[in-house]
Structure 1
């Protein structure tokens, strides 16, 4: 292979058999984002855009990688990868509209910069937390692999992002599952102002590939021909032999992390060294020396691109400012879902709560052939609670997947599966462990439809609850963490019949659902449950008892504690409401009941301060104040971690306190 260096370039170029048209196309494709950036920096100083993250000096990576991929292969860029968007020919007026918060953008003014995705161009933008998109790439690639599609997914990270746990989790999952992911690290010298010497100790980040059993390569990120040819070769190899590959692109960030940051922390000699390696000026000199690029052609490219920029800026600036509409804001929080009631046509059989969950899972797997189950030990072992025991015999280990202990990456993979047209279930071995996957749930799944109209078709099952002597790390009921987050649905059944029907609905709903299952109910509660498939609606509470004296509002194990408590009253005259669904919440049933009884007590197993009981209490105070004959009572667990010893756990839980508070409320 002939390498050509001219006196006017600091980079060694090899044509590698590429024809002149391809070389000119690569040059023009790098020139376009550079000229857009130059214009954006002017507009930034004029106050016409609010923020800018510069990719000056890194264009060869964005353009080279994108050009090496097929147009229907997903690419997950960062905020310096403008060349990804322009190489995919995203209309400039839409990009400009996005940066100005206009309706023509991709997020309806709800997010800025490159925080968006577009299925039309197979681009999935990053979130500010950086790391979660790596797991999302795993899920997109998994969908391709399961469908036997010869496709790969490329995902970008900066060298700073490789310090995040998500990076290590995503690489581990991709390696274990042989996923066709191209992990692209833009090693540009600084994470904001922190140099690489303070980020990691290995000589090259590519060395980490060996630790995960994957191929890894170092590429000159300022050499467009090396980027394009090497990535093209590697991409073709991945399509034939699906597997992850780690690429480290050596480059440099020539401007601040964002423009307000500046570059005063960078030594002058280092800046000068990298300025000499500018990917565009060097490639221009090479093409001129080779007689491929004429001055007239270069001028034409520049004039054409500048004219395109100006024309599209006029369109963006002429567009009216986006208007606020509270109805649209609320309605876009979730992907539209029209509930379809399916009624059982078969006889019922008396089964346990845990059996109802297992039946619902199995029947939903049969109904949705694109549903993938993921969780620790859920395959041949059947999960720690044996809910998926025997599932691999019917559905195989491709659809019932054991996962490494990588909660964050697996939640991200569920998001990626949804982006690529599939459904996902993630089983948290215990609901407490969701804290290790909290970030992608509340910052990715919950916000993604609101941000850019992409649903997150993910159900996260949450075995939860105390009363079984499991201690502080296996006993929490942490639903309030998620009822607070707009964009998540939260379901918490108390009976086998409800559990099966609601779980089936959760898999039909294209939105993210947190499905809480109380461990103490798994094998202690039985009920007649139809043998076949049926559904139940979200947002409809169940009125288990009717009376006129007090409204008892609860869910989960609290329902059974309330039923036990009522047996101690000679003539109980209570409404007992089992919420079943916490988000959406059946406010109408609550309000109507309290208006009738004039007294309300809300029971939760959660610790009381900041619990859902507090929110419901506020709701009642606002909507039913003139109907109340007593203060609204709340009963919950002590504001401590869940203790282990039986006597301590009994004291922690509100079961006995419920009886005392009920009597106090009746006598008020």
Structure 2
């Protein structure tokens, strides 16, 4: 291997050696502990230390870095305390996830490190969001994010590169090309001659670097960082290296030809660099021995701290409370005059006033800027708040959701508009696996609202008409809001934006321009988890939300003899189950109406909860009414038959007669 120090000081060259040696020695110790059963799993980065150390050394300490599970050198270069790392790997409370996640699946704001999740791809979009926040705050900072050559096959990789290119974001996309994705060789992973060529299609500057040469890694990345701090732009860096051990220790390396192992063993980044330092009289053998002694001492002392720490204990109350970031709801009452407006206008007004209240709030979505969105919610927003805060996005739902998370990590707020709620399926992974789990895993809030235009009755067919709230009410860590009236929509949207937790905000398209209400012109909030009792009666309880509220009101108007409690749930997570219990205990009968298809929906859980907790008060079985178990059809007659509006009246009367 050829080393060129390019004017680096002796101190820097020795520092790079020490920084590579430390993770190597930690890993060698961890492999012993793995065999002893003192840690449960290990993903080895032996042979790849030059990449982690070189990149982390080129970044400033206040610049975010998003590593993978073979990047121990990132954590040690950032001087993360070893006792906490060792506790993390043993699943103890002093670790960064309090035993809730393992290995490198964690982040820490103290060291500006954002760890990976096993799905790999979302962190690339998160890096976009972090970098975007830096640009908007006019901070000349770089963000570095790691993935492997296998990860470049994921859609998130391509989406993230595309967004970074379109928005000129200062992101280093660092690809560790180590030959195998678990056991799949690169020839079965991609067919382009060089991975760096993947940047060409996105107009991104790209380089292939010898990932085992610490001086080449550091000097190249350092030069690029200095340049893109001044003139932001993404760069794709492909580091050629090799994984000398299994994907994780249990998988082994039997699938790797021995000749390949031998060839890369000869290119060991640590041994070759040490030989260079000796030959150049930069590092003496005495200094080498002394450095090793110091690292051994540090490892042993911190291991003992971790070993002495007791096993993590389980506290149900704490486990449940840590799913969500604490949110102290502040009631803001309206004071000014009212106006008679539609649901769509109320949402637009609520969003506009929140943009005025929170100058760190960014809205993102397809066609939302000059065009104002397909439903014109954001019409005029560019003139009011500027193109940087009202951002058109490419058709990249997954990376856009992830970018929202990145904005939040870097001190901002995000509202993401799904053009239609149906399209959220292409952004599903970062919502349910990243946003929903971040606070529980490592205490990081996910201050992101995802607006979801949804629902049938408009003849839009199977891909523009779903009401898919049950996809998200199942996932701990998410909040789900579903207003039926303009007044509620405006106040609940303001609360959703104030809330530091991820909120899915459903807006029924058929109600957008058909439902009017007197709504205060000024800013106000409404609490989550409080149902609205619209009608009072003693014979039956009706629980519903969204368009179902209006179907129920219409039915009651046509049947004035029915004495019913009508509960508009308004939020589904948190759910005001206590109001349902109170009503059921009074009426003895419950019918639940939802637009979603029946099986696995919100109505099923409400029914189960009432049966478990109010059984002795019931005078009849709980009844659920919902749409057919089919995709929602296009033709009007088919759609009318699919929706439960007419069947609800019949079911309501039947239950009253029981």
Partner of 1:623: 613
Alignment of 1:28-107 (within 5 A): 28-107=18-97
* SS at structure 2 position matched to 1:532: coil
CA distance in 2, matches of 1:195, 1:352: 57
Which of 203, 217, 223 is 2:207 aligned to? 217
Q: Shift in Å at residue 623 of structure 1? A: 0.9
Alignment of 1:151-170 (within 5 A): 151-170=141-160
Partner of 2:631: 641
Partner of 1:608: 598
CA distance in 1, matches of 2:335, 2:556: 34
Partner of 1:399: 389
* SS at structure 2 position matched to 1:631: coil
CA distances 1:74-103 after superposition (whole Å, capped 9, x unpaired): 000000000000000000000000000111
Which of 277, 280, 283 is 1:290 aligned to? 280
CA distance in 1, matches of 2:416, 2:212: 40
Partner of 2:460: 470
Partner of 1:180: 170
Q: Shift in Å at residue 624 of structure 1? A: 0.6
CA distance in 2, matches of 1:139, 1:292: 41
Which of 294, 316, 320 is 1:326 aligned to? 316
Partner of 2:404: 414
Partner of 1:250: 240
* SS at structure 2 position matched to 1:515: strand
Runs of 4+ in 1 over 4 A off after TM superposition: none
CA distances 1:342-372 after superposition (whole Å, capped 9, x unpaired): 0001011100000000000000000000000
CA distance in 1, matches of 2:539, 2:69: 59
CA distance in 2, matches of 1:347, 1:238: 50
* SS at structure 2 position matched to 1:117: coil
Alignment of 1:143-154 (within 5 A): 143-154=133-144
Alignment of 1:371-520 (within 5 A): 371-520=361-510
CA distance in 1, matches of 2:504, 2:411: 20
CA-atom RMSD in angstroms:
0.4
CA distance in 1, matches of 2:531, 2:336: 24
CA distance in 1, matches of 2:233, 2:5: 28
Q: Shift in Å at residue 456 of structure 1? A: 0.3
Aligned length: 658
CA distance in 2, matches of 1:104, 1:185: 31
CA distance in 2, matches of 1:590, 1:299: 71
* SS at structure 2 position matched to 1:252: coil
CA distance in 2, matches of 1:163, 1:421: 30
Q: Shift in Å at residue 146 of structure 1? A: 0.4
CA distance in 2, matches of 1:503, 1:623: 31
Partner of 1:3: none
Q: Shift in Å at residue 568 of structure 1? A: 2.1
CA distance in 1, matches of 2:427, 2:382: 25
Partner of 1:232: 222
Matched, 1:316 2:306: yes
Q: Shift in Å at residue 210 of structure 1? A: 1.0
Q: Shift in Å at residue 571 of structure 1? A: 1.8
Unaligned runs of 5+ in 2: none
Which of 343, 357, 360 is 1:367 aligned to? 357
Q: Shift in Å at residue 572 of structure 1? A: 2.2
Alignment of 1:12-31 (within 5 A): 12-31=2-21
Q: Shift in Å at residue 266 of structure 1? A: 0.3
CA distance in 2, matches of 1:416, 1:479: 24
CA distance in 2, matches of 1:245, 1:407: 22
* SS at structure 2 position matched to 1:477: coil
Partner of 1:141: 131
CA distance in 2, matches of 1:248, 1:157: 10
TM-score (norm 2): 1.00
Partner of 1:667: 657
* SS at structure 2 position matched to 1:299: helix
* SS at structure 1 position matched to 2:79: coil
Deviates more, 1:294-303 or 1:557-566: 294-303
Unaligned runs of 5+ in 1: 1-10
CA distance in 1, matches of 2:325, 2:289: 47
Q: Shift in Å at residue 117 of structure 1? A: 0.1
Q: Shift in Å at residue 567 of structure 1? A: 1.5
CA distance in 1, matches of 2:204, 2:167: 11
Partner of 1:532: 522
* SS at structure 1 position matched to 2:450: strand
CA distance in 2, matches of 1:207, 1:324: 49
Matched, 1:571 2:526: no
